[in-house]
Structure 1
Amino acid sequence: MTKILLAGVDEAGRGPLAGPVSAAAVILDPDNVPEGLADSKVITAVRREELYVEIMRSALAVSVAFSSPDMIERLNIRGATLDAMRRAVRGLSLRPTSVEIDGKDVPHGLNLPARAIVDGDALVPAISAASIIAKVTRDRLMVKLAAEFPLYGFERHMGYGTAEHTRAIDTHGPCRHHRRTFGRLKAYNAGSADVLVRS
């Protein structure tokens, strides 16, 4: 009998003004599902980190892919998100028998049975796990980018359009990690050089 391997897929970072969008695909071990899986947005940062470790230790396969700000500008955020989802599924070390994706869209080119589930991150454990992996992985990357570009406070707001972040953009202009087609960033020249970064 063929073992059913369900891959759950979700993204993190569609809305920020800076940083990539991330997508994760997770195949959970049905005999070893971490307790407390839920949509990453309703879990504290501390608990997300704990669950990240548990998922990485117990899952049968995990894959993460990113779409950069440049790709977001080329494909738009929907296209870039779906592309990252497709690459995350393709990056799994095991080929799933089916894929379930949070949201309304199924990426093209999966060549696997797949369906989109609205609020899937709250309903399907594998999608919840993918939500957590995508969020924690992206947050960790934003902390690294904050060390490279300390003027913006990426480690505090993860690139979202907070008052602190928008003030920093108004003061210093965007850097190469900003999405120049988003919000107030449209006013900046897409070809401008990186701002001068001071520690």
Structure 2
Amino acid sequence: MPYEPPTHTVERSIRATTGARIVAGVDEVGRGAWAGPVTVCAAITGLRRPPPGLTDSKLITPKRRAELADTLESWVTAYALGHSSPEEIDDLGMTAALRLAAVRALDGLPVRPDAVILDGKHDYLGTPWQVRTVIKGDRSCVAVAAASVIAKVRRDAMMAELRGDYSVFGFHENAGYPSPVHKAALAELGPTPHHRLSWAYLDGLPRWRHLKKIRITPEAAALESGGQLGFDF
């Protein structure tokens, strides 16, 4: 099924209404995985015509995606990746971990963007960044689509590197997402150092349930230490 190619419409609108000169597209991958980092790519593309076939990374075959990522890395004006580790995801929660990874990606760019196009409807970046959220931005916006492809290919490659030590988990094929092979290995061997230990999948593994990590929220920590969470009594 053919898809409409992404455009620079949103970026042009941001430039016209805010005066922004440098606009970055930002997308993440790995949010729903059970293992591995969450990875964010920030890409600056300017207003040039994108390479043929560019769209949301999920709509491209793995072979074509890898080829396109190689093309994009030399085509974009600049890009950078940011990661949050499984430990950071466990300690901070996914929203804060996403923000941390996104800030790392944006800080890794050679220039600071004046504005950011963020895929989805939730702004997990916040101040001081000027953010425009776009649902399905990885399909409609050139810079976000480019970030989507690069993030997906590079994170998949990171997970594939674990094949030597953890081949039974199938990370080279499932990239840390739940799959029959992954679930079977977890049930038999338990989580690896690359697994997120605060996630609900551990509730269904009686042998390994004791390893589940309970994240202490700031509110709970304040109560535990006798704090009043800022309330006046």
- TM-score normalized by structure 1? 0.88
2:178 corresponds in structure 1 to: 161
- Structure 2 unaligned segments of length 5 or more: list them: 1-18, 204-208, 214-233
Matched, 1:171 2:188: yes
User: 2:135 & 2:126 partners in 1: Cα distance?
Assistant: 20
* Equivalence for 2:62: 45
Q: Distance in 2 between matches of 1:79 and 1:111?
A: 15
Change (3 A) 1:182 1:3: closer
For the pair shown, the structure with the greater C-alpha radius of gyration is 2
CA RMSD of aligned residues (A): 1.8
Corresponding position of 1:195:
none
Match of 2:99 among 68, 79, 82: 82
Task: Assess if the C-alpha contact under 8 Å between 2:20 and 2:115 holds in 1.
Answer: no
After TM superposition, what 4+ stretches of structure 1 lie above 6 angstroms from structure 2?
Answer: none
Q: Is it true that 1:138 corresponds to 2:155 in the alignment?
A: yes
Letter in 1 for 2:91: R
Give 5+ residue unaligned stretches, structure 1: 192-199
SS in 2 for 1:160: coil
Contact 1:7 / 1:26 at 8 angstroms: preserved in 2?
A: yes
Larger RCO (CA under 8 A, 6+ residues apart): 1
Task: Find the counterpart in structure 2 of residue 197 from structure 1.
Answer: none
Name the residue aligned to 1:20: 37
Letter in 1 for 2:121: K
Give 1:190 shift: 4.6
1:86–1:108 Cα contact (<8 Å) kept: yes
CA distance in 2, matches of 1:178, 1:130: 25
Between the two proteins, the alignment pairs up a number of residues equal to 190
Instruction: Name the counterpart of 1:61.
Output: 78
Equivalent position to 2:211, from 183, 189, 192: 189
